[in-house]
Amino acid sequence: MDFSEQLIKHQQFFNRNCTRDITWRKQQLQQIKNLVIENEQAFLDALASDLGKPAQEAWITEVSYVTGDVDHVCKSLNNWAKKRRVATPIVAQPGRSYIQPEPQGTVLIIGAWNYPMQLILAPLVAVIAAGNCAIVKPSELAPATSELLAKLIPQYLDSQAISVVEGAVEETSALLSLPFDHIMYTGNGQVARIVMTAAAKNLTPVTLELGGKSPVYVDKSADITITAQRIAWGKWMNAGQTCIAPDYILTSADMVAPLVEALKKQIENMFGKNPKESKSYGRIVNTRHTQRISQYIADIAVEVGGDVDLEDKYIAPTIVINPPLDSALMTDEIFGAILPIITIDSFDDVKRFVKERDKPLSSYIFSKNKEQCQSWVNEISSGSQCINDVIMFNAVPELPFGGIGPSGMGQYSGKAGFDNFSHLKSVLTRPFVKDLPVRFAPYSKMKFKFLRWIR
């Protein structure tokens, strides 16, 4: 299996400077929008087939996410791509200095299955905006979406610059052996290590969009109904398979009963008495992951939910109170419909709990206490944060998306994505004017003194 000819074709096209043209980039971006709009129903069907995604949920988190991203990027692209002037110090005068964003070359985009359309097309928007070519590799665990992307991308986008490889480990490994100019990988940390090791062989820079256990702290002062509604939405959207979903809740012991009651009410409001029959509740991607998630509660008492149907890939919205901290439920990223609640009484202990663990992709606090919220922002390190909400920062196109430490490296969305896939080239331009002799040998005491003075 060898994809080197495919890469060479893109490299040759890139070297003809075609992708540096902003008009070409905007045409391709517009074509991504056309691809999505003209095939909206096909995408909704594919996402329903891969993950049982309700159409409204798929539309908001995948379809309109991508089209909105294209609009936002196209509006600002001219500005982002402009040279960025910086001051020139005396030693380099007369002269003018600027940063010129330039494309990197050909980028490999490897997607994950949980938002299988968005996790290919949104990075592709940033990659094309920055003037690069790309090979995209959708996740084989969402086969209907992968097949649809493989069919449509060649129809809509310039195939000299952008192409698709479908497949699993074998195909991805073959791609990873090639000298791409940048690799963007979305998925779990274990495979990220394989990706980074392969990239190191060619000194290829990587963007890693990973996951982790995103904590939520709920303070006594929080509005319990609004808090429960927002957490329930974020946790059980896509049946819990969202990288920035709340993984677990930290709260004081006296908050557990009212919080569980409020969450139960929200589950019923959103998915009815039997979520299995709800058209608004999705399914786990496959039997293996359904089994993995159900194992977390095999020996643990469940407070709410707990129903599992392996054949239907169904796991009910489930709440567990104070599971052992060394159980897999509390050490692995859950990435499924189970919500543990851990009781910790003091806010300092809550912060300590979070700091002692891997830096998460996101962290959330619900509180009316402004000082507490500010100290959460000041002290808790995570890819992103929301105060009094979950996930919604992702609806703000100019907020960069990406993790820190084990939750990832590099960022995209808006200008952050443009910069991430650009090389910010430093340029100094000088006229043919005689230079001060101080710069040149032979060195002397006088020149040294003068040099110190002008610095």
Q: What is the CA radius of gyration of the chain?
A: 25
**Shortest distance, position 239 Cβ to ligand NAD, whole Å:** 13
* 305 is a contact residue toward ligand NAD (CB under 6 A): no
Report how many residues bind ligand NAD under the rule CB under 6 A.
28
Residue 65 or 335 having the CB closest to ligand NAD: 335
* 172 is a contact residue toward ligand NAD (CB under 6 A): yes
* Residue listed under structure tokens 């299988």: 116
Q: Which of 8, 86, 91, 168 binds ligand NAD (CB under 6 A)?
A: 168
First to last CA, the chain: 58
Residue span binding ligand NAD (CB under 6 A) among the ranges 39-47, 206-214, 348-356, 415-423: 206-214
Q: Say which residues have a Cβ less than 8 Å from residue 352's Cβ, sequence separation at least 6.
A: none
**Shortest distance, position 207 Cβ to ligand NAD, whole Å:** 10
Residue 399 or 438 having the CB closest to ligand NAD: 399
Q: Which of 152, 243, 297, 390 binds ligand NAD (CB under 6 A)?
A: 243
Residue 196 or 270 having the CB closest to ligand NAD: 196
Residue 219 or 247 having the CB closest to ligand NAD: 247
Residues numbered 96 to 125 that lie near ligand NAD (CB under 6 A) are 110-114, 119
Residues numbered 367 to 406 that lie near ligand NAD (CB under 6 A) are 403
* 173 is a contact residue toward ligand NAD (CB under 6 A): yes
* 140 is a contact residue toward ligand NAD (CB under 6 A): yes
Residue span binding ligand NAD (CB under 6 A) among the ranges 75-83, 134-142, 150-158, 216-224: 134-142
Cα–Cα distance list, 253 to 218, 245, 256, 327, 447 (Å):
11, 23, 6, 20, 72
DSSP line for 176-207: HTS--SEEEEES-HHHHHHHHHHHHHTT--EE
Q: Are 401 and 119 in contact (CB under 8 A)?
A: no
**Shortest distance, position 376 Cβ to ligand NAD, whole Å:** 21
* 351 is a contact residue toward ligand NAD (CB under 6 A): no
What is the SS3 string spanning 263-327?
A: HHHHHHHHHCCCHHHCCCCCCCCCHHHHHHHHHHCCCCCCCECCCEECCCCEECCEEEECCCCCC
DSSP line for 205-251: -EEEE-----EEEE-TTS-HHHHHHHHHHHHHGGGG--TTS--EEEE
Q: Which of 37, 48, 194, 404 binds ligand NAD (CB under 6 A)?
A: 194
* 361 is a contact residue toward ligand NAD (CB under 6 A): yes
Q: Say which residues have a Cβ less than 8 Å from residue 219's Cβ, sequence separation at least 6.
A: 251, 347, 365, 366, 367, 368, 369, 372
Q: Say what angle helices 40-51 and 143-156 make with each other, to 10 degrees.
A: 160
Catalytic position from the list 133, 243, 373, 386: 243
* 234 is a contact residue toward ligand NAD (CB under 6 A): no
* 206 is a contact residue toward ligand NAD (CB under 6 A): no
**Shortest distance, position 255 Cβ to ligand NAD, whole Å:** 27
Residue 262 or 337 having the CB closest to ligand NAD: 337
102 part of the active site:
no
**Shortest distance, position 167 Cβ to ligand NAD, whole Å:** 7
**Shortest distance, position 201 Cβ to ligand NAD, whole Å:** 14
Instruction: Find, among 244, 248, 245, 250, the residue nearest to 403 by Cα.
Output: 244
Q: Give the C-alpha separation, 347 to 376, whole Å.
A: 10
**Shortest distance, position 331 Cβ to ligand NAD, whole Å:** 14
**Both tokens of residue 384?**
């992103």
Q: Please, what's the b/e burial string for 350-371 (b: 16 or more CB within 10 A of its CB; e: otherwise)? A: bbeebeeebbbbbbbbbbeeee
Q: Give the C-alpha separation, 109 to 124, whole Å.
A: 8
Task: Count CA within 13 A, CB hemisphere, residue 426.
Answer: 3
Instruction: Find, among 164, 106, 153, the residue nearest to 131 by Cα.
Output: 106
Residue 194 or 304 having the CB closest to ligand NAD: 194
Catalytic position from the list 133, 209, 333, 373: 209
**Shortest distance, position 286 Cβ to ligand NAD, whole Å:** 10
Number of H helices, E strands in the chain: 17, 17
* 300 is a contact residue toward ligand NAD (CB under 6 A): no
209 part of the active site:
yes
Query: Judging by DSSP bridges, how do beta strands 314-315 and 318-321 pair with one another?
Result: unpaired
Residues numbered 307 to 346 that lie near ligand NAD (CB under 6 A) are 333, 335
Residues at the interface with ligand NAD (CB under 6 A): 110-114, 119, 137, 139-141, 168-169, 172-173, 186-188, 191, 194, 209-211, 243, 333, 335, 361, 403, 408
Catalytic residues: 209, 243
